[in-house]
Amino acid sequence: MTKKILLVEDDPFLADIYTTKMKEAGFDIQVVEDGGGVIARIKEQKPDLLLLDIVLPHLDGWEVIRQIKESADLKDLRVIILSNLGQKNEVEKGLQMGAVKYLIKAHYTPTEIAEEIKKVLKE
């Protein structure tokens, strides 16, 4: 069965590149461009994995992951943070908040990101 990914990314150019790459990798991917609508979309679509940017309009990624981990029916959703914020303390914060991985955009090609997602979904 095709794994469903919800990508939260407000940059249309990056969202387009990641969407193309994830589809090539065999994933069903949907995009949300703003943190405000993410929780409702997760409940509606039941993705296997959330690919989450931190810097977002309306509700940032930290708040999104906090709400997911505090929600009884969402807390088991696997979250990979995909952000340009690469400070050590931010990476640690993301992992402490419950992300399974923290990928810094500049360090990974879209193909490598797809590979990381495959690894996480096999766990």
pLDDT tens figures, 47-74 = 999 999 999 999 999 999 999 999 999 9
CATH code assigned to 4-122 = 3.40.50.2300
Q: What is the pTM of this model?
A: 0.95
User: Would you state the pLDDT for residue 44?
Assistant: 94
What confidence tier does 80 reach under pLDDT thresholds 50, 70, 90?
very high
User: Would you state the pLDDT for residue 123?
Assistant: 73
User: Would you state the pLDDT for residue 114?
Assistant: 97
Rounded Cα–Cα distance for residues 102 and 20 (Å): 21
In sequence order, the β-bridge partners of residue 49 are 5, 78
What confidence tier does 1 reach under pLDDT thresholds 50, 70, 90?
confident
User: Would you state the pLDDT for residue 8?
Assistant: 97
Per domain, the residue ranges of the chain are 4-122
User: Would you state the pLDDT for residue 107?
Assistant: 95
Residue 96 has pLDDT above 90, yes or no: yes
Rounded Cα–Cα distance for residues 80 and 100 (Å): 6
Rounded Cα–Cα distance for residues 26 and 66 (Å): 29
User: 85 to each of 54, 73, 91, how far by Cα in Å?
Assistant: 8, 28, 8
Residue 36 has pLDDT above 80, yes or no: yes
